Amino acid sequence: MTNDARNTLNAASRDEQLTRRALAGAVLGAGIVAGMPASAAQAAPSAAYGAPVVEVCVPAGVLSAEQKGEMIRRITEVVLTALNLPPDPQRRMFVAMLETADGGFGVDGKVFTPARK
């Protein structure tokens, strides 16, 4: 394996670990905001953070909050169905909506910038 390939794999592994830590922190924060005691929010099994993580990249500003919510709901349903898993509050299913900055999204080899409403 070349050094470049090894560096790419190491960077991807670090990115995945950071994403999972960020999501675990977000779940903890959401639990606390929802009124769950911090000790209970932290007691979630660590295996729960091995759940699927789906990242959806879209140009910034093209989806409303309602559209994002509907996409997240439907993506969750599709993944759980594909894995033949029932919804379970003890298992986490993460969907991250990542909005790219203007000029950071491409289609067919060209930069795509959506028309503003």
Residues 49 and 102 in one domain: yes
The CATH code of the domain that includes 87 is 3.30.429.10
Residues near 48 by beta carbon (within 8 Å), at least 6 away in sequence: 90, 91, 92
Residues 64 and 54 in one domain: yes
Could you tell me where the beta strands, DSSP code E, fall in 60-101? 94-100
pLDDT at residue 10 is higher than 90: no
Residues near 27 by beta carbon (within 8 Å), at least 6 away in sequence: 41, 44, 92
| CA dist., res. 71 & res. 99, Å (int) | 14
Q: Give first-to-last CA distance, the chain, whole Å.
A: 48
Determine what percent of the chain falls in helix, strand and coil, rounding each to the nearest 5. 50, 15, 35
pTM of the prediction? 0.54
Residue 22 sits in which domain range? 1-44
Residues 38 and 54 in one domain: no
Residues 36 and 76 in one domain: no
Render pLDDT for 20-79 as a digit per residue (tens, 0 to 9). 666 666 655 555 655 656 555 555 444 445 567 888 888 888 899 999 999 999 998 898
